[in-house]
Chains A and B, each alone.
Chain A
Amino acid sequence: MDCRRIEKLAWGYMEANLPSREHELIESHLAECASCKEVYQETKLIIQLIEKQKSEGPSPFLASRILSRLEGKNIPKWEISFLLRPAWSFAVASIIIAIGIFTGSIVSNNILAIEGPSNTTNTEMLYANQSFIMEADYYIPGFEYLNE
């Protein structure tokens, strides 16, 4: 049996999963081949380590730690953090921008109505403002003199 064949069967040999004929052949090869014997010993070492790692268990406080982390998560989850999610922050930003545009358009319409079109003369603007104030049934600070 050559070294390549040993490489394929070594793991099965260590787990005692091979037919007795192959088992014997590997044993006789390992007795003669130093290189394969070294690999065999190293493989045995890592199988032992895996067994040792498997015997370790999780921390006895695992469940209580998970439950406390779950409690801590519930508070910010529904109060603030949902606003920080991309979809929510986009929606909130869009609403704020829409309100801003709407408010801005109302204010600018009022100013245009008060100031009149940009190509009018100052006298025309005064008359326009006066008629606007006369028609509008409310008081605008700073235009008191027009009523005199």
Chain B
Amino acid sequence: MELSEKDLTRFINKFQDRVFRTCMGFVQNSDDANDLTQDVFLAVIESLDDFRNEAQLSTWVYRIAVNKSLNHLKKRKTRNIFQNIDKLLFKKGSGEAHQFLYNPVAEDENSEEASRLLNHALRKLSQSQRVAFTLSKYDEMSNNEVAVVMGNSVSAVESLLFRAKQNMQKALRDHKF
């Protein structure tokens, strides 16, 4: 499929805000979300020839955004394991530079606490609960739209969202930092 630069720019402008919000919902960091949004569009544009009109273009874009974000989280998890081993072996964890690099950016104590709580609560969700929660809360999709992107029924999405919120509440109740 041949697309001019103008077409590509229009396509990116149309979807960039929602793709960015999806990525932000997963990675919780605007720098990572920007990098990931770029990767999502590159993957979408490079595979436009594979797109079949069985699904809407927007649905297909969100599916790629979700998959890329989940892969990013998996890689980050592996990286964190190695960083923890590194910290244990070389005791690098106490420096200010390390704190700055590996902790989410927070403007003040309140948002730092909120960021910590949100990360803690999100970690308690299953993968499908997290996808449903992110698409619903960050992208403000209706349950019907979430169901289409996830390839689930609307009732399954309702159940996922209910359990996601309940698990987050439970995580906040039980949290011990």
Interface residues of A (CB under 8 A from B): 7-8, 10-11, 35, 39, 42-43, 45-46, 48-50, 52-54, 56-59, 62-63, 65-67, 69-70, 73
User: Main SS of the interface on chain B?
Assistant: helix
Cα–Cα distance between A49 and B138 once the two chains are bound (Å): 11
**B113-132 Cβ-contact flags toward A at 8 Å (1 or 0):** 11101100100000000000
> Is A49 a contact of B38 with CB atoms below 8 Å?
no
**B152-175 Cβ-contact flags toward A at 8 Å (1 or 0):** 000000000000011011101100
> Is B16 a contact of A69 with CB atoms below 8 Å?
no
Chain B: residues with Cβ within 8 Å of the partner, total of: 40
> Is A7 a contact of B169 with CB atoms below 8 Å?
yes
B61 within 8 A of A: no
Cα–Cα distance between A87 and B38 once the two chains are bound (Å): 28
Q: Given the complex, which residues of B lie within 8 Å of A7, measured CB to CB?
A: 166, 169-170, 173
Q: Given the complex, which residues of A lie within 8 Å of B172, measured CB to CB?
A: 39, 42-43, 46
> Is A48 a contact of B173 with CB atoms below 8 Å?
no
> Is B168 a contact of A54 with CB atoms below 8 Å?
no
Q: A7-B169, A43-B168, A46-B121 are in contact. Are A66 and B41 (CB under 8 A)?
A: yes
Stretch in B7-15, B51-59, B80-88 touching the partner: B7-15
Q: Given the complex, which residues of A lie within 8 Å of B110, measured CB to CB?
A: 45
> Is A62 a contact of B5 with CB atoms below 8 Å?
no
Cα–Cα distance between A15 and B16 once the two chains are bound (Å): 27
> Is B169 a contact of A11 with CB atoms below 8 Å?
yes
Smallest beta-carbon distance B53→chain A, Å:
23
Contacts A8-B169, A66-B8, A66-B12 supplied; 18 other A-B pairs, CB < 8 Å: A11-B165, A45-B117, A46-B168, A46-B172, A50-B137, A52-B111, A53-B24, A53-B25, A54-B138, A56-B30, A57-B17, A58-B19, A58-B37, A62-B37, A62-B38, A63-B9, A66-B41, A70-B45
